[in-house]
Structure 1
Amino acid sequence: MEATAERLGHVPAAVAKLATSPHLLDGFLTLSAAFGQTTLEPLARETVVMTVAVRNECHVCVAMHTGKLRTLGAGRELIAALRERRPLPDERLEGVRQFTLEVLRTAGAVGDGELRAFLAHGFTPQNALEVVMGIGTYTMSTLANRLVRA
């Protein structure tokens, strides 16, 4: 929590509630920091996060990551489309969104055609695994936040 307070200038209520399980909070913060260092560009990472947050109906997560998208310079239409589960105006980011949804839908058993479609947007097999990392990290966060009524 100290690292979060130092980085953000405060401890968000959601983080404080997750601290009920220091192991969960530490795991999430560690994984989140690692996900932030992946080779996916920042808007692609946030596309994964928002896709998971919207799908899992984690309202606090959607609000927090809407702010993050704004700081990254995402336009209103991109943010609205993510929040409303609509196709994204950016074809490459839509490829990330669709791949994320397919990984979730198939529990990772993505078909060859869907993987090729993701790679056709200029992504790599490493990026595909990084999407899985983001899904795992933010599934944990969204489910925990919903459980503690964050």
Structure 2
Amino acid sequence: MSRPAFTIHTPDTAPTAVRPVMAAVQRKQGHLPTAVALMAESPELLKGFLGAVAAFDSTDLDPVAREVVVLTVATRNECHLCVAMHTPALARHGGTPELVAALRAGTALPEARLEALRRFTLAVLDHRGDVPDDELDAFLAAGWQPRHALDVVLGVGTYTISTFANRLVDAPLDPPLAAYAWEPAA
């Protein structure tokens, strides 16, 4: 059986329940990302994801730390779209070119505290939340708090939604993101 074609919705063709959400995204971003238009097939998915993003954005993690979590999840889950979308976001929040390059490559980060965050995020993913004590201890020893560990779990859950959905629907890279195209290392 072949993969069904997923509909790229417009605010006029989308299910009624999600039209105001799509209009708000379009206003905020100046265009309607194709990934959002594809997720609109399931209003609950799109609204749930955007609600989770809002919750994650309100955590105690600063914007650079949040982007470290997002890009770590995106590269691990091989979501070319999420990596491309969050590369300029990290730069806008003050992420250095070295930080951006390391996250995109999945290599050690130049700042020890952020590297501890990246490694902890990977541990959450790899151990499905059952992070070994030594890995949690290393995270806390780098200056993070127990609350941040839970904030990471929220980020992992939030961006697992988008990475999985984008891969399922084969979301394309929108033209404004072409300069940030990414493919997983072979």
After TM superposition, give the deviation of residue 148 of structure 1 in Å. Answer: 0.7
After TM superposition, give the deviation of residue 111 of structure 1 in Å. Answer: 1.4
CA distance in 2, matches of 1:5, 1:70: 22
Matched, 1:100 2:115: no
CA distance in 1, matches of 2:168, 2:42: 12
- From the two aligned structures, give the one with the greater helix fraction: 1
CA distance in 1, matches of 2:93, 2:108: 19
What is the TM-score of this pair, normalised by structure 2? 0.79
What secondary structure sits across from 1:89 in the alignment? Answer: coil
Matched, 1:17 2:38: yes
Aligned length: 150
Greater relative contact order, per chain length (Cα 8 Å cut-off, separation 6+):
1
What is the TM-score of this pair, normalised by structure 1? 0.98
Name the counterpart of 1:114.
135
The runs of 5 or more residues in structure 2 that have no matched partner are 1-21, 172-186
- Give CA deviations for 1:8-56 in whole Å, capped at 9, x if unaligned: 1111111111111111000000000110000011111100000000011
What secondary structure sits across from 1:20 in the alignment? Answer: coil
After TM superposition, give the deviation of residue 3 of structure 1 in Å. Answer: 1.6
CA RMSD of aligned residues (A): 0.7
After TM superposition, give the deviation of residue 58 of structure 1 in Å. Answer: 0.5
| 1:56 aligned to which of 64, 77, 82 | 77
CA distance in 2, matches of 1:75, 1:44: 13
The runs of 5 or more residues in structure 1 that have no matched partner are none
Matched ranges for 1:1-150 at <5 A = 1-150=22-171
After TM superposition, give the deviation of residue 73 of structure 1 in Å. Answer: 1.6
What secondary structure sits across from 1:57 in the alignment? Answer: coil
What secondary structure sits across from 1:138 in the alignment? Answer: helix
Give identity over the alignment, percent.
Answer: 59
CA distance in 2, matches of 1:122, 1:30: 28
CA distance in 1, matches of 2:30, 2:169: 23
After TM superposition, give the deviation of residue 2 of structure 1 in Å. Answer: 1.6
- Give CA deviations for 1:48-84 in whole Å, capped at 9, x if unaligned: 0000000111001100000101111211111110010
- Which runs of at least 4 in structure 1 moved beyond 3 Å after TM superposition? none
Q: Which moved further from structure 2: 105-114 or 137-146? A: 105-114
